[in-house]
Amino acid sequence: MSPGHFAPLFKSAKSVPDRATPIHTAMIRNWKFLIAHKLPHPQAGSPGRAKYGGYFERFRYDAVLRGHYHVPDLGYYNTKPVIMNGSLPGTDDYAIELSFNTVPTQVMFTVSDKRPIALFWQVDAGHRTKEAEMVQGFEE
């Protein structure tokens, strides 16, 4: 598979519209990254581990970049780093639906010859105004 190749996991987005997630791969400094918007947490029990095992069998990745859940995280699946990016708006309707607050953050990471993820940072991307407003609302 060439870098950046688009490979949908499912036959048709119409058959499973709420689960269809386009999967991309990209080579960065000789490491293969699996990139998708909505993937489960790698430690999300047996179903999460089974999915990552299937992704690995199909794509043979070295690291995973995922998003959707708005909370930055660095996890692992069988020694393979799994980065979840943050959210520029912070707490929004989606986060409130899930019953949690998020801080406006993004993730920065470096890649080295020895590791696909050498350094990992959470970078503040805004103000905590929405979180402060929500806390004030509960205190009244």
The percent of residues in the chain predicted with pLDDT above 90, rounded, is 33
The class (CATH top level) of 6-139 is alpha beta
The whole-number pLDDT of residue 58 equals: 93
Asked if residues 107 and 123 have their Cβ atoms less than 8 Å apart, the reply is yes
- Residue 67's pLDDT is 84
- Residue ranges of domains in the chain: 6-139
pLDDT at 9: 30
- Read off the pLDDT of residues 42-73 as tens digits, 9 standing for 90 and up: 877 788 888 889 999 999 999 999 987 777 88
Task: Say if residues 64 and 39 touch (Cβ distance below 8 Å).
Answer: yes
The structure tokens 């089974």 sit at 50
User: 121 to each of 25, 30, 36, 41, 60, how far by Cα in Å?
Assistant: 22, 22, 20, 19, 25
Question: Which range is least confidently modeled, 9-18, 42-51, 84-93, 105-114?
Answer: 9-18
Instruction: Tell me: pLDDT of 79 over 90.
Output: yes
Structure tokens at 44: 């999300």
Please tell me the distance from the alpha carbon of residue 77 to that of residue 62, in angstroms, as a whole number: 10
Tokens of residue 31, six digits: 């490491």
What pLDDT, on the 0 to 100 scale, is given for residue 124?
A: 83
- Beta strand segments in 9-66, E: 22-28, 31-36, 63-66
Does 83 have pLDDT greater than 70?
A: yes
The mean pLDDT of 68-95, rounded to a whole number, is 82
How much is the pTM?
A: 0.70
In this predicted model, which residue has the larger pLDDT, 4 or 58?
58
Helix (H, G, I), strand (E, B) or coil at 95: helix
CA distances from 17 to 6, 25, 41, 45 (A): 17, 22, 20, 23
Average pLDDT score, the chain: 75
